[in-house]
Amino acid sequence: MKKKPVDFPILLTTVILVALGIVMVFSASYYYSAERWGDSLYFFKRQCLWAVIGFAGMFVASRVDYSRLQRYSRIFMIISILLLVLVLLIGEPRNNAKRWLGIGSLTIQPAEIAKFAIIFFISDSMARAGGKMKRFLKDVLPILLVVGMVFGLIVKQPNLSTAGSIVILTLVMLFIGGLNLWYFAGLAAAGAVGAVVLTVVAGYRLDRYKAFIDPWADPLKSGWQLIQSLYSLGSGGLFGLGLAQSRQKYLYLPYPETDFIFAIIGEELGFVGATFLILLFLILIWRGIRVALTAPDLFGSFLSAGIISMIAIQAVINIAVVTASMPPTGLPLPFISYGGSSLAMFLTGIGVLLNVSRHCRTV
């Protein structure tokens, strides 16, 4: 079969997103960075390095025929689970959580790898089931067990946000895979109940929820982050204060280079810049779904759908949190937020998506 060129809009959108991300990471972090590390370029340099690694991963992934990867899906899953176990044993603790494994001077998050292992694993399983998912025990249960194990390991770190996003990802993929809608409704309900239980059990999560309902009830503590995020966005107005002109990054807004980078974008580039960013995501998602729709086989279709769903889930949740549209939870904004593993894995994922696009039927 003669291969087509890659889907150009996906490539272009991705490059623009990464470039924007690097600029914004620099702008958002340089003050805090100088303060914390004595080097205003600390985050910027690392993000650049990871972008290079990510683009290399993307290039390689786009060149390797995805169908040849299918057979490694389960091994990939097993390796990723082992890494999750390893991080609990020898991980670097930061902020009371063991999420990172150090490799030389760089650190990786096994949970980021696990996301993609899950996408491969579920795509493979569902493709084998022929896109029907009729038999609960044979088709659905193995997936639930594996996902359950991964979920448990990530919660143990603890990192409920990432674990939660994997649950949502699984539900979305099962939905695409043709799961009976009653089963789907049951699983979604179970997930919702689980989320409520976990929120109530851990007091700090309940506080976050209360802070979401009324950030000004406790403006200096639990409400601080949301209020500062709103101040950033509000200060931006239509056209923003201008690149590098954020005031909120002067230690007012916590995590300006990671979870709350969207707020700094809103402050510096205004409503126009923020909307442009959301539209870039919309284009990317649309092109990604299009790849899934026109993929030559079920594995390719599910793989594409999984990758693009992961991006969509994180983008929606991250922006919803920053705009105080949902209770706060820490998920990075794909391609934009500072964070090497996340950036590299998403870029590699885009590489896979591009590879699938080369095999697509012409619509």
Q: Which of 16, 41, 107, 175 binds another protein (CB under 8 A)?
A: 175
Interacting stretch for another protein, rule CB under 8 A, among 19-27, 141-149, 172-180, 204-212? 172-180
Listed in sequence order, the residues at least 6 apart from 37 whose beta carbon sits closer than 8 Å to its beta carbon are none
User: Is residue 136 near another protein by the rule CB under 8 A?
Assistant: no
d(CA 222, CA 129): 47
> Which string of b and e fits 51-83 if b means at least 16 CB within 10 Å?
bebbbebbeebbeeebeebbeebeebbeebbeb
Q: What are residue 97's DSSP bridge partners?
A: 94
Q: What order do you get walking across the sheet with 106-108 strand by strand?
A: 92-94, 97-103, 106-108
Least distance in Å: CB of 247 to another protein?
5
Number of residues that bind another protein (CB under 8 A): 56
C-alpha dihedral sign at 219, 225, 226, 232: positive
User: Which of positions 232-251 make contact with another protein (CB under 8 A)?
Assistant: 232-238, 245, 247-248, 250-251
- Round to whole Å and give the CA distance between 83 and 110: 6
Among 177, 256, 339, 351, binds another protein (CB under 8 A): 177
Closest CB to another protein among residues 107, 245: 245
Length of the chain: 363
By rule CB under 8 A, what string of x and - marks binding of each residue 66-85 to another protein?
Answer: -x------------------
Provide DSSP, 18-36. HHHHHHHHHHHHHHHHHHH
**SS3 at position 133:** coil
Chain residues 276-315 in contact with another protein, contact rule CB under 8 A: 278, 281-282, 285-286, 289, 292-293, 295-299, 301, 305, 309, 312, 315
Contact status, residue 31 vs residue 249, Cβ threshold 8 Å: yes
Stretch that binds another protein, among 84-92, 105-113, 128-136, 158-166 (CB under 8 A): 128-136
130 binds another protein (CB under 8 A): yes
Beta bridge partners, 106, equal: 103
Nearer to another protein by C-beta: 154 or 230? 230
Q: Give the residue among 252, 277, 248, 251 at the shortest CA–CA distance from 262.
A: 277
CB of 155 to another protein, least distance (A): 25
Tell me which residues touch another protein (CB under 8 A): 31, 67, 127, 130-132, 172, 175-178, 230-238, 245, 247-248, 250-252, 266, 270-271, 274-275, 278, 281-282, 285-286, 289, 292-293, 295-299, 301, 305, 309, 312, 315-316, 319-320, 323-325, 361
